[in-house]
Amino acid sequence: FQSGSLTGKTVFITAGPTREAMDPVRYISNHSSGKMGYALAEAAVEAGAKVKLISGPVNIPVPERVERVSVESAEEMLEASMLDLGLCDIFIAAAAVADYRPTAIAEHKIKKGSEEIMELHLVKNPDIVATVANSSPKPFTVGFAAETKDVLEYARSKLERKNLDLIIANDVSRSDIGFNSDENAVTLISASSTESLPQASKRQLANRLIERISAQYKSTAR
Protein backbone atom coordinates (compact mmCIF):
# COMPACT_ATOMS: atom_id res chain seq x y z
CA PHE A 1 0.00 0.00 0.00
CA GLN A 2 1.63 3.13 -1.29
CA SER A 3 0.97 5.98 1.12
CA GLY A 4 0.70 9.38 -0.49
CA SER A 5 -0.92 7.96 -3.64
CA LEU A 6 -3.77 10.48 -3.27
CA THR A 7 -1.79 13.51 -2.08
CA GLY A 8 -3.44 16.69 -3.32
CA LYS A 9 -6.61 14.86 -4.36
CA THR A 10 -10.10 15.45 -3.02
CA VAL A 11 -12.34 12.44 -2.45
CA PHE A 12 -16.07 12.56 -1.67
CA ILE A 13 -17.54 9.43 -0.09
CA THR A 14 -21.21 8.72 0.68
CA ALA A 15 -21.84 6.28 3.52
CA GLY A 16 -24.52 4.73 5.70
CA PRO A 17 -28.28 4.53 5.18
CA THR A 18 -30.68 7.33 4.39
CA ARG A 19 -33.80 8.03 6.43
CA GLU A 20 -36.97 8.97 4.62
CA ALA A 21 -39.47 10.69 6.91
CA MET A 22 -43.16 9.77 6.95
CA ASP A 23 -44.13 12.22 9.66
CA PRO A 24 -42.27 14.07 12.46
CA VAL A 25 -41.58 10.83 14.37
CA ARG A 26 -41.35 8.04 11.76
CA TYR A 27 -39.12 7.10 8.84
CA ILE A 28 -38.23 4.38 6.34
CA SER A 29 -34.61 3.22 6.37
CA ASN A 30 -32.34 0.16 6.13
CA HIS A 31 -29.70 -1.69 8.19
CA SER A 32 -26.59 -0.24 6.54
CA SER A 33 -23.90 0.23 9.22
CA GLY A 34 -21.74 2.68 7.26
CA LYS A 35 -18.62 0.60 8.07
CA MET A 36 -17.38 0.23 4.49
CA GLY A 37 -17.73 3.94 3.68
CA TYR A 38 -16.02 5.00 6.92
CA ALA A 39 -13.19 2.50 6.35
CA LEU A 40 -12.72 3.94 2.84
CA ALA A 41 -12.63 7.47 4.28
CA GLU A 42 -9.86 6.46 6.72
CA ALA A 43 -7.88 4.71 4.00
CA ALA A 44 -8.22 7.67 1.62
CA VAL A 45 -6.98 10.10 4.31
CA GLU A 46 -4.00 7.82 4.97
CA ALA A 47 -3.26 7.86 1.25
CA GLY A 48 -3.01 11.65 1.48
CA ALA A 49 -6.45 12.69 0.20
CA LYS A 50 -8.70 15.46 1.49
CA VAL A 51 -11.92 13.61 2.32
CA LYS A 52 -15.52 14.79 2.56
CA LEU A 53 -17.65 12.01 4.06
CA ILE A 54 -21.33 12.53 3.35
CA SER A 55 -22.98 10.32 5.91
CA GLY A 56 -26.46 9.15 6.80
CA PRO A 57 -27.19 8.37 10.47
CA VAL A 58 -24.65 5.80 11.78
CA ASN A 59 -22.99 4.93 15.09
CA ILE A 60 -19.38 5.46 14.06
CA PRO A 61 -17.13 8.31 15.27
CA VAL A 62 -15.77 10.71 12.64
CA PRO A 63 -12.35 9.44 11.51
CA GLU A 64 -9.45 11.80 12.15
CA ARG A 65 -8.80 14.44 9.46
CA VAL A 66 -12.10 13.60 7.74
CA GLU A 67 -14.69 16.31 7.13
CA ARG A 68 -18.07 14.70 7.85
CA VAL A 69 -21.28 16.19 6.55
CA SER A 70 -24.25 14.56 8.31
CA VAL A 71 -27.44 14.12 6.31
CA GLU A 72 -30.68 12.18 6.72
CA SER A 73 -32.64 11.86 3.47
CA ALA A 74 -31.50 10.93 -0.04
CA GLU A 75 -32.38 14.44 -1.21
CA GLU A 76 -30.10 15.94 1.47
CA MET A 77 -27.37 13.45 0.52
CA LEU A 78 -27.66 14.50 -3.12
CA GLU A 79 -27.46 18.19 -2.22
CA ALA A 80 -24.34 17.64 -0.06
CA SER A 81 -22.79 15.53 -2.84
CA MET A 82 -23.32 18.19 -5.51
CA LEU A 83 -22.00 21.02 -3.31
CA ASP A 84 -18.44 21.84 -4.49
CA LEU A 85 -18.48 18.79 -6.79
CA GLY A 86 -16.12 20.74 -9.06
CA LEU A 87 -13.41 20.28 -6.39
CA CYS A 88 -13.92 16.50 -6.28
CA ASP A 89 -11.41 14.25 -8.06
CA ILE A 90 -12.83 10.89 -6.99
CA PHE A 91 -16.42 10.20 -5.86
CA ILE A 92 -17.13 6.92 -4.06
CA ALA A 93 -20.78 6.02 -3.43
CA ALA A 94 -20.86 3.56 -0.53
CA ALA A 95 -24.19 4.71 0.90
CA ALA A 96 -27.27 2.48 0.99
CA VAL A 97 -29.66 5.07 -0.34
CA ALA A 98 -33.37 4.35 0.12
CA ASP A 99 -34.81 3.71 -3.34
CA TYR A 100 -38.14 5.37 -2.46
CA ARG A 101 -39.43 7.99 -0.03
CA PRO A 102 -42.97 8.81 1.11
CA THR A 103 -44.62 11.13 -1.43
CA ALA A 104 -45.23 13.66 1.33
CA ILE A 105 -44.10 14.14 4.92
CA ALA A 106 -47.16 14.58 7.17
CA GLU A 107 -46.93 17.77 9.18
CA HIS A 108 -48.25 16.03 12.31
CA LYS A 109 -47.88 12.49 13.66
CA ILE A 110 -50.02 10.15 11.55
CA LYS A 111 -52.87 8.84 13.74
CA LYS A 112 -53.84 5.18 13.95
CA GLY A 113 -57.18 4.67 12.18
CA SER A 114 -59.79 1.92 12.48
CA GLU A 115 -58.77 0.33 9.14
CA GLU A 116 -56.66 -2.84 9.17
CA ILE A 117 -54.75 -1.84 6.07
CA MET A 118 -52.88 1.40 5.71
CA GLU A 119 -51.56 2.59 2.37
CA LEU A 120 -48.33 4.46 2.07
CA HIS A 121 -47.43 6.08 -1.23
CA LEU A 122 -43.80 6.24 -2.23
CA VAL A 123 -41.90 8.10 -4.92
CA LYS A 124 -38.50 7.20 -6.37
CA ASN A 125 -35.49 8.95 -4.88
CA PRO A 126 -32.85 10.61 -7.10
CA ASP A 127 -29.92 8.36 -8.01
CA ILE A 128 -27.02 10.21 -6.37
CA VAL A 129 -24.08 8.42 -7.97
CA ALA A 130 -25.69 8.56 -11.44
CA THR A 131 -26.33 12.30 -11.02
CA VAL A 132 -22.66 12.80 -10.06
CA ALA A 133 -21.43 10.62 -12.93
CA ASN A 134 -23.50 12.61 -15.42
CA SER A 135 -22.38 16.03 -14.29
CA SER A 136 -19.65 18.03 -15.90
CA PRO A 137 -16.81 18.05 -15.06
CA LYS A 138 -17.27 14.49 -13.90
CA PRO A 139 -15.11 13.12 -11.09
CA PHE A 140 -13.75 9.57 -11.37
CA THR A 141 -16.92 7.88 -10.12
CA VAL A 142 -17.06 4.63 -8.18
CA GLY A 143 -20.22 2.79 -7.15
CA PHE A 144 -21.07 -0.36 -5.23
CA ALA A 145 -23.34 -3.17 -6.37
CA ALA A 146 -24.68 -5.34 -3.56
CA GLU A 147 -26.39 -8.29 -5.22
CA THR A 148 -27.79 -11.65 -4.17
CA LYS A 149 -27.53 -13.40 -7.56
CA ASP A 150 -25.89 -12.92 -10.97
CA VAL A 151 -23.60 -10.52 -9.12
CA LEU A 152 -21.13 -9.72 -11.91
CA GLU A 153 -23.77 -9.36 -14.66
CA TYR A 154 -25.87 -6.97 -12.59
CA ALA A 155 -22.79 -5.02 -11.58
CA ARG A 156 -21.68 -4.65 -15.23
CA SER A 157 -25.07 -3.38 -16.29
CA LYS A 158 -25.08 -0.91 -13.37
CA LEU A 159 -21.60 0.32 -14.37
CA GLU A 160 -22.97 1.20 -17.82
CA ARG A 161 -26.41 2.44 -16.82
CA LYS A 162 -25.05 4.83 -14.18
CA ASN A 163 -22.07 5.93 -16.31
CA LEU A 164 -19.57 4.84 -13.60
CA ASP A 165 -15.81 4.46 -14.05
CA LEU A 166 -15.62 1.57 -11.62
CA ILE A 167 -18.05 -0.61 -9.70
CA ILE A 168 -17.32 -2.70 -6.63
CA ALA A 169 -19.52 -5.79 -6.64
CA ASN A 170 -20.29 -7.83 -3.56
CA ASP A 171 -22.48 -10.85 -2.93
CA VAL A 172 -24.83 -10.01 -0.07
CA SER A 173 -26.52 -13.41 -0.10
CA ARG A 174 -23.61 -14.53 2.10
CA SER A 175 -24.16 -13.60 5.75
CA ASP A 176 -20.42 -13.75 6.58
CA ILE A 177 -19.60 -10.76 4.38
CA GLY A 178 -21.17 -7.50 3.29
CA PHE A 179 -24.05 -5.67 4.94
CA ASN A 180 -23.40 -5.05 8.63
CA SER A 181 -20.57 -7.59 8.71
CA ASP A 182 -16.98 -6.68 9.64
CA GLU A 183 -15.65 -8.50 6.60
CA ASN A 184 -16.20 -8.18 2.90
CA ALA A 185 -15.03 -9.76 -0.37
CA VAL A 186 -15.49 -7.89 -3.62
CA THR A 187 -14.87 -7.79 -7.35
CA LEU A 188 -13.81 -4.56 -9.05
CA ILE A 189 -15.23 -4.05 -12.51
CA SER A 190 -14.37 -1.33 -15.02
CA ALA A 191 -15.16 -1.14 -18.73
CA SER A 192 -11.92 -2.99 -19.49
CA SER A 193 -11.04 -5.06 -16.41
CA THR A 194 -12.36 -7.40 -13.74
CA GLU A 195 -10.39 -8.07 -10.56
CA SER A 196 -11.41 -10.01 -7.43
CA LEU A 197 -10.08 -9.10 -4.01
CA PRO A 198 -10.10 -11.87 -1.38
CA GLN A 199 -12.16 -11.73 1.82
CA ALA A 200 -10.65 -9.41 4.42
CA SER A 201 -11.68 -7.04 7.17
CA LYS A 202 -13.42 -3.94 5.84
CA ARG A 203 -10.44 -1.85 6.92
CA GLN A 204 -7.87 -4.04 5.10
CA LEU A 205 -10.13 -4.21 2.09
CA ALA A 206 -10.53 -0.41 2.16
CA ASN A 207 -6.75 0.02 1.88
CA ARG A 208 -6.65 -2.29 -1.14
CA LEU A 209 -9.66 -0.61 -2.71
CA ILE A 210 -8.18 2.87 -2.31
CA GLU A 211 -4.94 1.59 -3.84
CA ARG A 212 -6.83 0.10 -6.83
CA ILE A 213 -9.10 3.13 -7.19
CA SER A 214 -6.18 5.57 -7.21
CA ALA A 215 -4.29 3.43 -9.75
CA GLN A 216 -7.31 3.29 -12.08
CA TYR A 217 -8.01 7.00 -11.53
CA LYS A 218 -4.46 7.83 -12.61
CA SER A 219 -4.60 5.61 -15.68
CA THR A 220 -7.90 7.12 -16.87
CA ALA A 221 -7.54 9.87 -19.45
CA ARG A 222 -9.43 12.99 -18.39
Question: Which spans of this chain sit near ligand C5P (rule: CB under 6 A)?
Answer: 14, 74, 93, 95, 97, 125, 127-129, 143-145, 158
Nearer to ligand C5P, 5 or 73 (CB): 73
170 is known as an active-site residue: no
Cα R_g (the chain), whole angstroms: 18
Nearer to ligand C5P, 27 or 144 (CB): 144
Smallest separation, CB 184 to ligand C5P (Å)? 14
Smallest separation, CB 84 to ligand C5P (Å)? 17
Measured from the Cβ of residue 210, the count of other Cβ atoms closer than 10 Å reads 27
Is there a contact between 97 and 128 (Cβ–Cβ < 8 Å)? yes
* Cβ within 8 Å of residue 125, ≥6 positions away: 18, 20, 74, 75, 97, 98, 99, 100, 101
* Cβ within 8 Å of residue 168, ≥6 positions away: 142, 143, 144, 145, 186, 187, 188, 189, 209
Nearer to ligand C5P, 10 or 125 (CB): 125
Is there a contact between 166 and 188 (Cβ–Cβ < 8 Å)? yes
Nearer to ligand C5P, 52 or 158 (CB): 158
What 8-state DSSP symbol labels residue 86?
G
Q: Is 158 annotated as a binding residue?
A: yes
Smallest separation, CB 75 to ligand C5P (Å)? 10
Among candidate residues 30, 125, 163, 207, the one labeled active-site is 30
Query: From the annotation, which residues make up the binding site for CTP?
Result: 99, 109, 126-129, 144, 158, 162
User: Which residues are catalytically annotated?
Assistant: 30
- Residues annotated within a binding site: 99, 109, 126-129, 144, 158, 162
